[in-house]
Amino acid sequence: MKKDVMIVTGAGQISMAIARRTGFGKKIVLGDKNMDNCNAIAKTMADAGFDVEPFQMDLSSRESILAMIDKALGYGEIKYMVNGAGVSPSQAPIEAILKVDLYGTAVLLEEVGKVIAEGGAGITISSQSGWRMPQLSPEEDRQLAMTPTEELLDLDILKRENIKDTLHAYQMAKRCNEKRVMYECTRWAERGARLNDIAPGIIVTPLAIDEFNGPRGDFYKNMFAKCPAGRPGTADEMATIAEFLLSDAASFVTGSTFLADGGATASYYYGSLQPEK
Ligand SMILES: NC(=O)c1ccc[n+]([C@@H]2O[C@H](COP(=O)([O-])OP(=O)(O)OC[C@H]3O[C@@H](n4cnc5c(N)ncnc54)[C@H](O)[C@@H]3O)[C@@H](O)[C@H]2O)c1
């Protein structure tokens, strides 16, 4: 019997947790730039009975995204997409954050949206970080949502002189992810498919551990200690949300961002995490 095909970008902890929860019995094409990560996660999953094909890809390159899609289509129509590849503010310079997290995600949603199977579903992973940034104007939001992908990085709001630091670049990228999901879900719907987004808070993964050890380490440790949940989250908790969003139970949910941050954003605006005035 032909298996449903699922493409997963980012051989990281969040992607793996989602793929393990939702990918059993499917053909999983797992892409990552770093083949050490990709082979390690593919092996862990294969040892647990999953059918995983590791594939080297770079989310910041359209050519590479198309090569991964092509690989997946060799196994049949793509029914599911999970985009968990990304770099954090402590891991990469401004240009790389914008190229991977913002442009690359936008291209992936666009290209998968051209081939996604009827009844299919996708999720991408943004971040609570996008929620702490002040509101953008309606026109700026619209630009992030709808500007053709190849023109995105030329927008004034994304010009180097208008991006303060790597955190600001990451926040803009994650805000763009949310807006892009709203725009692209209308195109995915033309193929009978849905697209949603999860905005995690602090989730213990190698990416978060780099943040704990980076220049904003104390800020993040204080954030999870004082947020309503009083702890960081786990990748498996993100998988619980992804399982719902990828299932038929969520057939009325598309274009949505699910904030799952232990209440950190709520506390940042109205609780004990409010910044000092
Ligand atoms: N962990 C957290 O606290 C947290 C919080 C909010 C959002 N997120 C987001 O979740 C997503 C997954 O992160 P994670 O915590 O699972 O991290 P992770 O470090 O476990 O995995 C990220 C993976 O992405 C890969 N990657 C990086 N650049 C790439 C590129 N150009 N092309 C292909 N692969 C690339 C890395 O090699 C790595 O394997 C990211 O988008 C991140 O911004 C994470």
pLDDT tens for each residue of 175-232: 999 999 999 999 999 999 999 999 999 999 988 898 889 888 998 899 989 999 999 9
Mutate to test the pocket of ligand 1, among 37, 170, 207 (most ligand atoms within 8 A of CB): 207
Amino acid at 71: K
Residue 205 lies inside a defined structural domain of this protein: yes
Q: Say which DSSP state 271 is in.
A: S
Verify whether ligand 1 is closer than 6 Å to residue 23 (CB atom). Answer: no
In-domain check, residue 276: no
Residue 16 CA: which ligand 1 atom is closest? 16
Report whether pLDDT(86) > 90. yes
Is any ligand 1 atom within 6 A of the Cβ of residue 85?
yes
- Residues 201 and 260 sit within 8 Å (Cβ to Cβ): yes
**Residue 174 designated active-site:** yes
Q: Write out pLDDT tens, residues 155-174.
A: 999 999 999 999 999 999 99
pLDDT mean across residues, the chain: 96
Confirm whether 104 is domain-assigned.
yes
Q: What's the pTM?
A: 0.97
Whether 256 lines ligand 1, by a CB cut-off of 6 Å, is no
Evaluate whether residue 180 is within a structural domain: yes
Q: 241: domain CATH number?
A: 3.40.50.720
Residue 10 CA to ligand 1 center (angstroms) comes to 6
The 10s digit of each residue's pLDDT in 55-72 is: 999 999 999 999 999 999
The verdict on residue 277 lying in a domain is no
Instruction: Flag whether 48 is in a domain.
Output: yes
Full domain range(s) for residue 220: 5-270
71 is catalytic: no
Domain count, the chain: 1
